[in-house]
Structure 1
Amino acid sequence: MLIGEVARRSGVSARMLRHYDSLGLVRPTGRTVGGYREYSPEDIRRILHVEGLRSLGLSLSQIGRALDDSGFSPSTLVGDLIRKTEERLNRERELLERLRTVDAAEPSGWQDVLRVIELLHGLGSESAARRQQAVLAPAEDISMPAELLAEAILTESDPNVAGALRWALARAGGDGVASVASGMGSADVDVRRRATLAIAELPGGEATAVLIDALGDADATVRRNAALALGARGVTEAVPALLGTVIEGPNDVEAAELLGRLARDAKWADRIMSALVDELTEQTADSAARMRLTQALAEMPGTIALDILRQLTHDDDRAVALIASSLVERIAERPDNETADTAEKSRPLAAGPQ
């Protein structure tokens, strides 16, 4: 079979067949009277073998060894090809994500494209200072893609860089909540903690709904951060978690202040006071917790906690009694700042140390 016919049947160009011949990879076994290459069925079979190995990514020199060296083992070579292919696919995926990120920014010109690429390079730096600088650099009238910022937030371990990213996400607009809320379903607790802190800085009902769901998280830090954010928004669903934060700490002072703010609503004042008193009664063996609860009473509006604090001045726990005495004096001198809807509410300590 002449070279033109072989090319038509095999799909390999005549030029490539001549190249195979020059390399000694596939040499036709015969020649016509006129000197033209003539391929036997065995030659054509070898051409197909060459093309099959090329499809796996082997070089022509590797193919020659594979076909001619009976001692050549394919396992090492195939393993190397797998590794190189995985590396190439990873590079392609990174390129695809980079292109999608640029597209999400809706660039109006190449300067916008370059700004997003600069941000991508900065966020990929091993230097925390370089990553932070990339986030805080002048935006030049281009909003950073929320998807990119959210991805960086969920993986950033440096607190300063994370803070800069949360600030940028809050300014980015768009669907920032949806972009970062995916982290709330992660099995990695650190990812959930980062997501909670980011959502806490985003406004709107969607962010509030995500934070309310986070109150049921298995991790105490996630629950605490969600409760603090919700309390600052005036969401009363956070009251139990805020109370738990007062008892266990940290952030007990902040939690107490938020409980006091929520207690300005007459509908919640009695519930919060009752919860504080109940916990004081139950935490008989934990002096530190009772001290924090006593201090939290001082954050209640007006003088609604004054009677309870007076009882606590006679508490068996000397530290609690001293704190209560100090707070009684302070609250007694406090101007009456109760709202018209907040009446003085107090209840005796039941079965607590007196």
Structure 2
Amino acid sequence: MTAMSTRAKIAVVTASAVLLGAVAAGYAATAAEPTRTPPPAAGDRAVTLTPGPRLLAITDRYVSAVAATDPSGPRAVSGLECLRVYAAAGTGVCLRPENAWSYQVVVLDSALRPTRTLSVPGLPNRARVSASGQMVSWTTFVGGDSYTASGFSTRTGILDTVTGATVTSLEEFAVTRDGRRHRSPDVNYWGVTFTADDNRFYATMSTQGRRYLVRGDLAARTVETVRENVECPSLSPDGTRLAFKEAVDATPAKGWRLSVLDLATMRVTATAETTSVDDQAAWLDDATLAYTLRADDGRPDVWSVPADGSGAPKLLIPGAESPSPLT
């Protein structure tokens, strides 16, 4: 099967309420699979988070690394099992199974050794580390919230790896929507991305059937809306743009277009990737995005595309997901 024919068969997830339940069910099925054994030649010493010209990813549920100059070539695969992984400045975060039905956020040092572990409710979905390596964030799907039509919602937390200060849920923060204080029991957050000061961040907030880009302040414990229909933001290394998934016609049932928001002008540029992207893209550099697409059989591949709308999508790491540049 060619790369393009695989791309053409990628499924589009529908309706936001259905999305939460369907995706959560998929994560549950994946997480319930028996623990897999990494390749015999693999070893933790082969994969480090030390900054360098390599890309981190997950291969068959194990943390792996490839050369940035040859991402489709040989890869090192560790013995560390994660459902999501991300790293920056020698610090990593791994969302991994604790047992069959519970999960952990694990902070990693450059040698993949755990330095802090938190048990979290729900099914792993997003993970990020700030550029300095100090701040870590995660999002999980959670069941049982009666105010959602599907019975699923999200929980997003933040950990300061230096002080140990932990926000277990951004739902504790005060919200300003369109210039006015907003209170609603249905507020949900996902997809945090940090600014360079390790205090401010961007994320997605949903409430009353609408999805917003919000700008947050950790010290003040506040968020404010910036723009509608911006999901899973990812801040560029130069801090000027946000990659995000934009629901087609503001309707998640129609899928998402991977796009880029210029923070100075609020101008949106759609990338050349026209397949629906349900992921929080990673910036490989100031010009290039990486993201995961899944074929209809569930197989993930990491693709890349220019951030300025030019060019064409390129298969980057076959059979992998959760990409992260080791900056």
TM-score tier (shorter): under 0.3
Larger Rg: 1
Give the structure with the higher percent strand: 2
Give the structure with the higher percent helix: 1
User: Greater RCO between the two (CA within 8 Å, min separation 6)?
Assistant: 2
TM-score, length-scaled by structure 2? 0.23
TM-score, length-scaled by structure 1? 0.22
